[in-house]
Amino acid sequence: MDIRRIAVIGGGVMGRGIAYTAALSGYHVTLQDVSQDALEKAEQYIAAELNASVGKGYIQSDQRNVALENLAYTDDLQNAVKEADFVIEAVLELMELKTEIFKQLGLFAPHHAILATNTSTMSPTEIAASTTRPEKCVAMHFFNPVHKMKLVEIVRGLDTSDQTVEITRRVAAAMGKESVEIHEFPGFVTSRMNCLIGNEAMNMLMEGVASVADIDKALKLGLNHPMGPLELADLVGLDTRLRNMEYLYKQLGEKYRPSPILVKYVKAGRLGKKTGRGFYEYT
Ligand code: NAD
């Protein structure tokens, strides 16, 4: 099956990055969000990233222009997916929201369209069960920032077909990504590991073991992590990380109980880079 048109549902941190990378890879992309503000911010982000890439010589100005022409923005889900060959959902990490979106995708996307979720932790089987085409549903887990990170985790739900996995792998490759294939389990490979490391770092901070900067420095220089776990959590968004932890705690038990400091920061609205303040301050 020839994939030409991609719809991305949810234009936040991940959706805008997926839309940007797909458009630069030659796909016609429609980015949908219920929030006009999110759509405007996504459009500004994508234009700024494309201009920065031209400025640094990573891409030519005509590649930027084609990418911009490949992009459309809408707040109407039906309109976004009606001609899509491939849909990537990147809304908040909430099961009720994802199943509601997938129910609508099942109704409005063409019959041949593959429906992928960018969930970090959740069951693609449960999400797919809200559609009448579970064989065409899959998890396609990108990483942040999408245009820089090389990996996509492709996660099979119970009914995901081999053809769906193969097409998803091809789309990931066309977007410049390596992929790994995973059989569904909460948190897949990366989130299961990464959430635990981040949570332990937060617990250490709470216990006064070391400062934010020293915990991050210790993991970067001592364990060769490219980013510290606290700066990474700020980049992900502490609200998103808390939802990930809550889901893993529910599914996998005590080991994944969200650190109280994470809960406290989210209550205070300190959500990380996106709000200007998390474990670090951003100007
Ligand atoms: P985000 O909060 O930045 O963005 C979510 C967007 O969804 C918002 O713009 C919101 O307006 C939109 N939205 C809410 N309800 C909607 C609806 N009914 N229809 C359309 N749009 C709707 O979140 P994010 O960080 O981009 O995360 C999105 C998904 O990607 C989550 O499942 C998350 O677990 C996963 N993920 C996040 C990261 C990360 O580093 N942030 C990495 C990999 C995967």
pLDDT tens across 165-191, in order? 999 999 999 999 999 999 999 999 999
Residue nearest to atom 11 of ligand 1 (CA): 35
Neighbours of 43 (CB within 10 A): 17
- Could you tell me the distance, in angstroms and rounded to a whole number, from the CA of residue 94 to the centre of ligand 1? 9
Ligand 1 atom, smallest distance to 101 CA: 18
Residue nearest to atom 17 of ligand 1 (CA): 34
pLDDT tens across 133-159, in order? 999 999 999 999 999 999 999 999 999
Residue nearest to atom 25 of ligand 1 (CA): 13
For the cut 90, the answer to whether the pLDDT of residue 1 exceeds it is no
35 lines ligand 1 (CB under 6 A): yes
Ligand 1 atom, smallest distance to 17 CA: 26
- Could you tell me the distance, in angstroms and rounded to a whole number, from the CA of residue 10 to the centre of ligand 1? 6
Per-residue confidence band for 283, with pLDDT thresholds at 50, 70 and 90: confident
pTM comes to: 0.95
Per-residue confidence band for 193, with pLDDT thresholds at 50, 70 and 90: very high
Does the interface ipTM go beyond 0.95? yes
34 lines ligand 1 (CB under 6 A): yes
Residue type at 78?
Q
